[in-house]
Amino acid sequence: MQVVIYIGLFKTGSTSLQRFLAQNYLRLRQAGILYPAVEARGLARQERAARRGCDLPLDGAGLNETEPHNALALRMRAEAGGGAVPPYYPDLPPSGQMLATLRQQMVQHDPGAVVLCSEVFSLLGLLPGQRGLRQLAALLAGQEVTIYFTLRRLDDYLSSWHRQRLKFGDRLSPLAGSAYGAYQPTAHFQHGAALEAWMRHFPRARLVLRDFDLARRRGGTVADFAAHSGLALPEGLQPVAPCNPSVPAALWEVARAGIHALGRDEGGRLARWLAGHAGGLDLPPDGDVEMFGPRCRPVMPCDYAPVLAQLRALSGNERLLERVDLSLQRPVRDWAAAARALPDLRTALSGAPEMAAISRWIEGWQVTRGQRTGGETSEKP
């Protein structure tokens, strides 16, 4: 049996890929490709699709149903002491029961291929004891495994993930300050160690290591996965729209200040509004906004060099990311982009009645170079 395990990274189109697989569950299963559920809600949705003889729309589906392997990985992480399962993955059983559910579907449907897909899988390799990886290796012993890993250049990755966290209401320090160093020991920075752990537990696995920028230029993560996973996907699968955008880089300082001033709930609501409604504002592209500043940007190439060397050794590709220069400053500082966008943002918020309280706060807020928000300057020389 062929098993393809997509392990991330975060912010590389994994949500779109998961929704694509969930939306086409039945059509894929009929073609011998199983995207298995791990708990009761997912099983019930799959049964409804089978009874109706057609795939179901994703409207109203919960994350347990569309992102089942995120649910599995989050439960594994929680059991290893890595934090609680978020409430938007409710009522999850223990990981052993979830794996038994997965195994039963493999036996029942006897597919030619199985797809497991979760960006949270990338975190399992740096957890103490790596129990989740050992569980998966035991479940899939003897199968033809492919580890599929989509890599994103470090500066864009950290920027996008940091801005994504604002949507959850997280109180963050700037990447130009202490946040950059806080990421360094984690799987969000140690991509080589995260991948090496997977390859150690699956020593016979085929590794597919893809560059997210290249995938995006060639049609996106779903198209890239279809082209390089080794799966014979059937014709006529339903596409999905891009989803799960981060807060724009030009507005990240607005959202960060909002969370510190308004609290997790209201500040998170502002961040989610900015992520979904900023299209009408005249903002610089995310790639033009500098978030690391003159202290952290210059040391990034040296800090990441051992990680890149490990990735090149694992992949056998000595030219991996060779054209990426992590030392190059972006043309617009984040605080300057926020200051320029602020008048138009105030106008946009004033036209959204549901954001009235937040609009009143932002009318009195200003961003300046060196501003202190949450006890740390946004610019450090």
| Packing angle of the helix pair 264-277, 252-262 (nearest 10 deg) | 160
Does pLDDT of 278 surpass 90? no
Mean pLDDT in the chain?
95
User: Is the pLDDT higher at 339 or at 377?
Assistant: 339
The CATH architecture that domain 2-229 belongs to is: 3-Layer(aba) Sandwich (3.40)
Predicted local confidence at residue 280, as pLDDT = 87
C-alpha torsion sign, points 324, 326, 328, 333: positive
Mean pLDDT, residues 310-329: 97
Long-range CB contacts for residues 312-318, cutoff 8 Å, separation at least 24: 314/192, 314/195, 314/196, 314/199, 314/207, 314/209, 315/207, 315/209, 317/209
At residue 367, the pLDDT reads: 84
Asked if 256 and 31 count as a contact pair (C-beta separation under 8 A), the reply is no
Residue-wise pLDDT tens digits, 193-205 = 999 999 999 999 9
> 251-265 pLDDT, tens per residue?
999 999 999 999 999
* Percentage, residues of the chain above pLDDT 90: 95
- pLDDT the model gives residue 375: 46
pLDDT digit string, tens, across residues 54-72: 999 999 999 999 999 999 9
Would the pLDDT of 371 be above 70?
no
Positive or negative torsion for Cα 316, 119, 75, 116: negative
User: Residue 279: pLDDT band by 50, 70, 90 thresholds?
Assistant: confident
- Output the pTM of the full model: 0.95
Rounded to a whole number of angstroms, the CA Rg of the chain reads 21
Q: How confident is the model at residue 151 (pLDDT cuts 50, 70, 90)?
A: very high
Contacts of residue 127, defined as CB under 8 A and 6 or more positions apart, other chains included, come to: 76, 77, 80, 81, 82
pLDDT at 380 over 70: no
* Secondary structure class of 350 (helix, strand, coil): helix
Q: What is the DSSP secondary-structure string of 257-281?
A: HHHHHH-HHHHHHHHHHHHHHGGGS
Token pair in block for residue 285: 């592209």
Residue 349 has pLDDT above 60, yes or no: yes
Which string of DSSP letters, residue by residue, matches 103-116?
Answer: HHHHHHH--SEEEE
Q: What angle do CA 67, 72, 73 make, to 5 degrees?
A: 95
Alpha-carbon distance of 248 to 370, in angstroms, equals 20
Residue 376 pLDDT level (bands cut at 50, 70, 90)? low
Domains of the chain, by residue range, sit at 2-229, 249-364
99 pLDDT higher than 60: yes
* 35-39 mean pLDDT: 99
| Antiparallel, parallel or unpaired: β 113-117 and 2-6 | parallel
pLDDT confidence band for 28 (50 / 70 / 90) = very high
pLDDT, tens digit, 9 for 90 and up, residues 77-98: 999 999 999 999 999 999 999 9
Q: Widest CA span of the chain, in angstroms? A: 63
Give dist(CA 276, CA 148) in Å, integer.
29
Residue 379 has pLDDT above 70, yes or no: no
Q: How many CA atoms, within 13 angstroms, populate the side-chain half-sphere of residue 44?
A: 6
**What is the mean predicted confidence (pLDDT) over 352-373?**
84
13 touches 218 (CB < 8 A): no
